[in-house]
Amino acid sequence: MPAGIVQMAPDPTQFLHWRAERVSPPEALSERLLRRGDSAIVDFGRHLTGHLSFSIAGEGRGVDAPARLKLTFGEVPAEVAQPFDPYQGGLGRAWLQDEVINLDVLPAVIRMPRRYAFRYVKLEVVDTSPNYAVRIGKIQATALSSAGGDPPPLPEAVPAMLRQTDRVSIATLRDCMQTVFEDGPKRDRRLWIGDLRLQALTNYATFRSNDLVKRCLYLFAAFPREDGLVPACVFEDPEPHRGHEYIIDYAALYPAAVLDYAKATGDWNTAVDLWPVVRQQMDLLSAYVGSDGIFAAPARSWVFIDWCDALDRTAAMQGTFVYSLRQALELARHCGAPGEAAKYQQLIARMTSAARGAFYDFPRQVFVSGPKRQVSWASQAWMALSGIATAAEAAQAFRTVAAQTGAVRPGAPYLYHYVAEAMLRCGMKLEAKQLVETYWGGMVKAGADTFWEVYDPSNAGLSPYGSTQVNSYCHAWSCTPSYLLRTLNLA
């Protein structure tokens, strides 16, 4: 049921420049007669993924024309405060959650057939006739999730901001857990390897819906490219099929996702079953390691690492693949493949030596990447996680990069997670805690009740797609503070 009726007020002090103001209790909506041009914004009190239903009746001399309603669904206040058009984004306009419906017969009970991701719903009466107005009642949302009940809260001894961050992380994961681990229930509503890996880690610490993880791992295994590379994403409808995107670092992380699952569940039979897919990824990707021991992705292939156009990805991709080889090495030993284990061990040693020679700037005590010797947070994170850097070197590199204003910072929560995890792995618990408190905590302070796809504290207008309207404000790769807090003992 709704929490209340609100209005949106412009507020330059808010991160997205709008705030919701409660104007009346929820029952006030059914007490109003709405005519042409009237509107109301319903607040459901929290973000949810699901369906909307309501009743509507006409009152007056007679219902002598259709009633036309416009409904706009928003995850954040800005989405229902500002018009969607003219839309300038690079993704399809149809991702924006608005509908116009025509009702020929009143009274009626309406159940919107589409599934939406929302907290706010703006109802606008586009037209009736001069002879009647409409009354809307029994408005309710049916929330959908394959997650079970919320896990127990963190102890009271944990600082309040971290406990709130944990709650928002859990809400984010909950609303992305549908028939698969979706990346975003508003957009793209599909399964991606990079998101799945982080969602699954958080799931093991919270909902423990491990069969859902298993299903997703098999979906990727079922639809490889012709050469065997797993797709970056999978669709379920109208029947399961692979997407057209292939991301090199996502394919490299598939072994990590399989190993994570086996360790969390003890289901090594599934790991053995998926081992041929893991081995195929390693065989394909190993071919991109040159005679110099450096990973070089083929031309026109997609290496993601982070949403950041300025990022040189060479060092980070080297680290990602060495990290992946370590996961595959452990799987090979469990799956009875000593030959592959020995091969991976040799390649790890060769790539580690090559990376230290190519990327470590000894005088500056930091890892660099590319012909311009770019310094970035991404390079330090993956050099640390891969074990190419020692813990002491990684810690010093992070301190160096933090002091450089020109260093390329992460562009999205996906990389911020790996930075925080790398900090924890090299003994920088205080710095990792501060990162979570300032970055994810910054979203909490900005009003997030689920974590966002992209967030730059200095740039409210940041969007990889040319418009914040199409950004996802409940996004899977942002859910990991609960994993950091509950599994890696961040608190």
**What does pTM read for this prediction?**
0.97
* Residue 142, beta-bridge partner list: 51
Q: What is the mean pLDDT of residues 311-315?
A: 98
Q: What is the mean pLDDT of residues 68-88?
A: 97
What topology does CATH give the domain 160-486?
Glycosyltransferase (1.50.10)
* pLDDT for the residue 121: 98
CA 194 vs CA 157, 253, 452: distances in Å: 33, 7, 16
- In angstroms and rounded to an integer, the radius of gyration of the C-alpha atoms of the chain is 25
- Is residue 199 within 8 A of residue 192, CB to CB? The reply is no
Q: 284-289 — which CB contacts under 8 Å span 24+ positions? A: 284/227, 284/228, 284/229, 284/251, 285/248, 285/251, 285/252, 285/321, 285/324, 286/347, 288/248, 289/321, 289/347, 289/350, 289/351
pLDDT bracket for residue 260 (50, 70, 90): very high
* pLDDT for the residue 304: 98
Query: What does the domain layout of the chain look like in residue ranges?
Result: 4-143, 160-486
Q: Is the pLDDT of residue 491 over 90?
A: no
Q: Residue 197 is encoded by which pair of tokens? A: 């890996």
Q: What is the mean pLDDT of residues 77-93?
A: 96
Q: What is the 3-state secondary structure (H, E, C) of 319-385?
A: HHHHHHHHHHHHHHHHCCCHHHHHHHHHHHHHHHHHHHHHHEECCCCEEEECCCCEEEHHHHHHHHH
Average pLDDT of the chain is 97
- Is residue 91 within 8 A of residue 161, CB to CB? The reply is no
What tens digit of pLDDT does each residue of 92-149 get? 999 999 999 999 999 999 999 999 999 999 999 999 999 999 999 999 999 999 999 9
What tens digit of pLDDT does each residue of 391-406 get? 999 999 999 999 999 9
19: CB partners within 8 A, 6+ apart: 8, 9, 11, 77, 447
- CA dihedral of residues 111, 117, 120, 124 (deg, nearest 10): -50
Secondary structure (3-state) at 451: coil
- Is residue 201 within 8 A of residue 487, CB to CB? The reply is yes
Secondary structure (3-state) at 229: coil
What tens digit of pLDDT does each residue of 15-33 get? 999 999 999 999 999 999 9
Tokens 């839309």 correspond to what residue? 87
Q: What is the CATH number of domain 4-143?
A: 2.60.120
Secondary structure (3-state) at 269: helix
* Burial of residue 266, with CB atoms counted within 10 A of its CB: 0-12 exposed, 13-18 middle, 19 or more buried: exposed
* Burial of residue 35, with CB atoms counted within 10 A of its CB: 0-12 exposed, 13-18 middle, 19 or more buried: middle
278: CB partners within 8 A, 6+ apart: 254, 255, 258, 328, 331
What tens digit of pLDDT does each residue of 161-207 get? 999 999 999 999 999 999 999 999 999 999 999 999 999 999 999 99
Which residue in 122, 154, 142 sits closest to 18, CA to CA? 122
- Amino acid letter, residue 192: W
User: For 55, phi and psi rounded to 5 degrees?
Assistant: -105, 155
What are the DSSP calls for 272-321, one per residue?
A: HHHHHHHHHHHHHHHTTB-TTS-B-PPTT-B--SSS-TT---HHHHHHHH
Q: Which is it for strands 191-192 and 360-361: parallel, antiparallel or unpaired?
A: unpaired
pLDDT bracket for residue 60 (50, 70, 90): very high
Tokens 């942002």 correspond to what residue? 478
* pLDDT for the residue 314: 98
Which residue in 414, 413, 421 sits closest to 455, CA to CA? 413
What tens digit of pLDDT does each residue of 475-485 get? 999 999 999 99
